[in-house]
Amino acid sequence: MNTALLPQLQVFLVVARLRSFSGAARELGVSTPAVSQSVRQLEEQLRVVLLTRTTRSVSLTEAGRRLVEGAGPALGQALATLTEVSARPGETVGRVRLSVPRAAVPSVITPVVPTFRERHPRIEVEVVIEERFVDIVAEGYDAGVRLSEAIERDMVQVRLTDAFRFIVVGAPSYLERHGTPQRPEDLLRHECITFRMRTSGALYAWELERGRRNWRVPVRGGVVTNDTQLSVSLAEQGLGLAYTLEPMVREQLREGRLVTVLESYAPTVPGFFLYFPSRAQRSPALRLFVDVARELTRLAS
């Protein structure tokens, strides 16, 4: 293929990743018509349709899928190499793109990113906040942050936090009006702020445990959300009980704005981990991010 088409190929790969012309335009800092024109020029040169467009969606044709799988990694490596060779001796340039759940932001992202950017000002950090399970390779991420049980076993994992508990919390005002649940089954009679899974669309059943026994309680309530921070905020206002990770509400618990209930049933999870495919370790930018994250969390893999 003519090397003059490399810019059009780069635009096409962004559209393919985002499944959106307007989204690609925002990421690239150009107009949507310019993005559309670049993709059309690439299709005309290759004499093949790469994308199926409707008024509501964009999807890859078989030819488009093959081009993404074949050319995407090579182009990404080539662009990264071009960026690297433009750096001054001893300086690293590039980008680290991360998929992170909102609950991990206070304990992982907020402490790490400012120091990382101060030390490595020519490495751009993109943090995408999302709760759904993400194929970080297919969707163009360098790494992700998740609980260990949500990470595929062929990924490299770097521990970022200690183990912590998932707890049920409520405001003192709510507990005064409705009483305090004593057993997991009692939650079925309480107003619970429920969480809808973005991947499946199902309502999350709260997971509790005691000894060898486990419960998955199908709680219900008048508010449903897909944002853990919102559920905690609403619980503070007395709208119902919320299920959240303990580090996220330490301040509210210390100040008495929230109270832990069913504490003896709170399950413990290993913590948050940064994860990435083994070949990604060749990226100097990602290696530097891992080093800073390890240092600031004072934990090793």
Q: What is the mean pLDDT of each run of 10 residues along the chain (301 residues)?
A: 67 85 84 88 85 77 81 57 53 82 87 91 88 78 86 86 94 96 96 86 92 94 92 96 94 96 95 83 82 74 36
CA distances from 19 to 8, 66, 136, 288, 293 (A): 16, 16, 15, 30, 31
Answer for the pair 29, 60: CB distance below 8 angstroms, yes or no: no
Query: How confident is the model at residue 246, as a pLDDT?
Result: 94
Query: How confident is the model at residue 299, as a pLDDT?
Result: 43
**SS3 of 85, please?**
helix
CA distances from 16 to 70, 131, 187, 223 (A): 13, 21, 44, 35
Does the model's pTM come out above 0.75? no
Contacts of 117 (CB under 8 A, 6+ apart): 123, 125
Residue 19: both structure tokens together: 């499944």
Query: How confident is the model at residue 257, as a pLDDT?
Result: 97
Residues forming beta bridges with residue 169, ordered by sequence position: 242, 260
Alpha carbon distance 252, 108 (integer Å): 19
DSSP-derived secondary structure letter, 86: T
Q: Helix 62-85 vs helix 6-18: angle between axes, to the nearest 10 degrees?
A: 120
Answer for the pair 273, 193: CB distance below 8 angstroms, yes or no: no
Contacts of 276 (CB under 8 A, 6+ apart): 136, 142, 143, 144, 155, 156, 286
Residue 249: both structure tokens together: 């509400």
